[in-house]
Amino acid sequence: MVTTIQLRENVKDSLNKMKEKENETYEEVILKMMHNIEDQKRKQKQLLKEGYIEMAKETISLHKEWSLADKDWD
């Protein structure tokens, strides 16, 4: 089913600028944007995960370091 949507002229102009080919449809442009957003979300999630893993490793390392220092105080 095909439907019609209303867009402000400035949105239409922006979509036109995003077209890679002259005959590319607005639907193709919007789908491409949606895929890009999903890719960015996936990449951001992966980067956050990697960052948390690095932080955990650093925390473990600091804990070990301080545990050894604590033994020296006794």
Share of the chain above pLDDT 90, in %: 80
Q: How confident is the model at residue 64 (pLDDT cuts 50, 70, 90)?
A: confident
Return contacts of 28-34, CB within 8 angstroms, 24+ apart.
none
Helix (H) or strand (E) holding 17: helix 9-18
Q: Is the pTM of this model over 0.75?
A: no
Helix (H) or strand (E) holding 52: helix 26-73
Looking at the predicted structure, is the pLDDT value of residue 74 above 60? no
Nearest to 5 by CA among 29, 22, 41: 29
Residues of 25-54 as b/e, b for ≥16 C-beta within 10 angstroms?
Answer: eeeebeeeeeeeeeeeeeeeeeeeeeeeee
